[in-house]
């Protein structure tokens, strides 16, 4: 695998990890369990569980928007220069 392709795959994985980290930390900040958040969203707790796994590659953005709305927050997405990413 070329170095640039590997770097892109690692960046994608780090983004997925960041999503799982944010979901996992937003729940207790809002005083919610996984089950309570799922109920609030009208979904199954397994959906929240998958989002909290760093390997989840489903429709993350749509679910992040739902979670943000349920927690009275908004989702922020931005493109940052590659130079700012730790190597």
- Look-up of token digits 């739902």: 66
Q: For residue 5, what are its two tokens?
A: 């392709």
Instruction: Output the six-digit token pair for 27.
Output: 């729940």
Cα distances (angstroms) measured from residue 50 to each of 5, 19, 30, 58: 26, 11, 19, 9
| pLDDT attached to residue 57 | 72
Domains of the chain: 3-77 (1.10.260.40)
Residue 76's alpha-carbon distances to 35, 73, 79, in angstroms, are 25, 10, 10
The tens place of each residue's pLDDT in the chain, 87 residues long, gives 677 777 767 766 777 778 888 888 888 988 999 999 999 999 999 988 988 887 777 778 788 888 889 989 988 877 677 775 555
Quote the CA–CA distance of 40 and 67 in Å, as a whole number. Answer: 9
């Amino acid at each position: 695998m070329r170095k640039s392709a590997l770097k892109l795959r690692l960046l994608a994985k780090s983004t997925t990890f960041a999503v799982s980290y944010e979901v996992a930390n937003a729940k207790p900040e809002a005083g919610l369990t996984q089950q309570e958040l799922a109920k609030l969203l009208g979904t199954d707790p397994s959906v929240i569980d998958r989002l909290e796994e760093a390997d989840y590659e489903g429709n993350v953005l749509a679910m992040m928007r739902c979670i943000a709305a349920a927690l009275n927050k908004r989702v922020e997405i931005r493109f940052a220069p590659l130079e700012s990413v730790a190597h």
